[in-house]
Amino acid sequence: MKKKLVVAAAAGAMCVAATTAFALENEFHGMYKAMGYSSNFFNGYTLAPAQTSTLLRKDAGVSNFFEQRARLMYIAKANDNLKLVTHFELDSRFGGVAGGYKGITTGNDSGNLDADQLTLETKNVYLDTNCPITGANIKIGIQPWADSYQSLFLLADMTGLYVTKKFDPLTASFGWFRYADLDTNTNWAGDASNDLFVVDAKYAINKDMTVGASLYAIDNGTNTLPSNVKDMYMPGVNASLTFGPATINPFVAVQFGRTTGNQNLNGFLGGATAKVKNVGPGNINAAFVYMSGDDRATSSTSYGKAFKPVSANTSYFNAANMWLLVRSGQAVNSSTSVTGNDLTVGGRGLVGIFAGYEGTRDKAFYNANVGYAMTAEQRKNGTTEESSSLGTELNATVGYKLYDNLAVSLTGAYAILGDALKKSAASNGKGISGFATTVADADNPWLANLQLSYTF
C-alpha cells in the first residue's frame, strides 16, 4: 500500500511540474461571524463526551457569552489551471479563554484585555492544478475533505493528495491523506502513522439522477483515530435522485477490518436526506440516520458491530438542522451537543429522525425544526438496562438580510431529554454512564442564539 502511494504521488508531481505559470491574480475571500449565547448547557467550550454529565444536571446555571470567528482565504492564481489556496481562521471568546485553548497551554485567545495573543490558525495550504498531460485536477497539501455519507464518517482538513478526473458522465477520484504521525527520530517515517486511502466515483445517469460508490481504507499505525482499530475498510453506495420538486439523497456503507485485539469489525451506516421545494412559501427538509452499535463496551463475540467515525469532533450530520441533540452546522467555537459530538454515544450507535420547514420573504428568512434521537443498542448499569431515548429537540430561527452578504438572526432551541440523559447514570440507573447526569432528573437543555454573519 505504501509503495502504491509513492507511485501516485510521483505521478501527481510530474503533472504539477508540467503546468505553465502566467501573470499572478490575487483573490481574497472569507467570513466573519459573531454569536451571542444564553444557555443552561452551552458554556463557551467544545465539550468532550465525558464532560456533558457535568452540565446536564438539576438546577443548572445559565451561561451568557459572546464569541466570534473570522476566516480569511487568499488564492494566488497563476491561470485557470494553477493556483495556490491558503485559508486561515481566527477564533475568540469575548473576554478570552483563561486556560489552554486548541493545543496551546495558555495565552492564545485574543478576546482578553489588550488582545495581544496568538489566535491565527491554519486551515488549508494546498496547490490546486489541472494537469496538462492527463486533464485531471490535482490538489496537494493541507486541504478539506468530506466523505460521501453526509460527513458522518469524516469531515476534516488533512495533508494529502487528491486527484479527480472526469470521463463524462463518470467522475472518478483517488486520494491519500496522512492525518496522524507519531514517528520519532528513532524509527522509520510512516511506521507510526495513520493513512486514509480514498477511491470515489459518481455516475450521472441523467440530469436528475446521480449514483455513487466509494471505498475508504485506513492503515492505522497509531491505533488511534479511530481508537482501537488496526485497519479498516469502508465500501459504500450513495445517490442523488430528483423527482419533480423532491430531491432524495440515500446512502449505505459498511465497515470491516480488525481491531487492535484482532477482533473483526462489522459496522453499518445507512440513512437519507430529502428536500421538497415549493411547499407553500418554503421548503420541507427531512433526514434519517442509523449507525450500528454494540450492546456492551467489550463484545464477547468475535465481532465489533459499532460503526466507527474517525473521531467525534470530525463527524457531522448537518442535515439534522439541530442545535442540541446534534451540533449545528452554523456553530463556530461552541461546536458541541448533548453527546459531546460523539454521534455513536460511546459505541452504542444512533437512530435519528429529523424534519423541518424553511422559507424566505423579501429579505427575511426563517426555519423551524424537530428531531428525535435514540441509541441503536442498550447496555446495563449494574442490573438495570440503560434507556435508549436521548431526547427530542425543537428549534426555530428568524433572520433578516441587512445587505446581500450581511445577515442577523435569532435562534431558540429546547431539548426534552430522554431517560438516557435525564436520569442518573449511577449504578442501576437508566442514564448512560459518561453522558448522563450523576443526579436524577437533569434539567432540559435550552439555548438562545443571536448571530451576525458576513461573507465576502
How do residues 350-396 score in pLDDT, each as one tens digit?
Answer: 999 999 999 999 999 999 999 999 999 999 888 889 999 999 999 99
- Give the pLDDT score at 45: 77
Helix then strand then coil, in percent of the chain rounded to 5, is: 5, 50, 40
Per the CB < 8 A criterion, the answer to whether 330 and 292 are in contact is no
Check pLDDT > 70 for residue 19. Answer: no
- Give the pLDDT score at 40: 96
- Give the pLDDT score at 382: 80
Angstrom distance (rounded) from CA 301 to CA 298:
9
Q: How many CB atoms lie within 10 A of CB 353?
A: 16
Per the CB < 8 A criterion, the answer to whether 148 and 236 are in contact is yes
**3-class DSSP state of 100:** coil
Q: Is the dihedral of CA 30, 324, 158, 177 positive or negative?
A: negative
The three three-digit cell numbers of residue 370, written as one number: 424537530
Taken in order of first residue, the domains within the chain and their CATH numbers are 1-455 (2.40.160.100)
- Give the pLDDT score at 71: 98
- Give the pLDDT score at 7: 45
List, as one string, the DSSP characters of 278-320: EETTEEEEEEEEEE---SSSS-SSSEE-----S-GGG---GGG
Model pLDDT for residues 390-439, shown as the tens digit of each residue: 999 999 999 999 999 999 999 999 999 999 999 988 767 899 988 887 77
**3-class DSSP state of 2:** helix
Residue with cell 494537469: 131
Model pLDDT for residues 257-294, shown as the tens digit of each residue: 998 888 899 999 999 999 999 999 999 999 999 999 99
Residue with cell 514517528: 183
Angstrom distance (rounded) from CA 276 to CA 285:
7
Model pLDDT for residues 179-216, shown as the tens digit of each residue: 999 877 767 777 889 999 999 999 999 999 999 999 99
- Give the pLDDT score at 231: 95
Residue with cell 482501537: 228
> pLDDT-derived band of residue 105, with 50, 70 and 90 as boundaries?
low
List, as one string, the DSSP characters of 8-58: HHHHHHHHHHHPPP-S-EEEEEEEEEEEEEEESS--SSPPPGGGHHHHS-T
Angstrom distance (rounded) from CA 14 to CA 248:
40
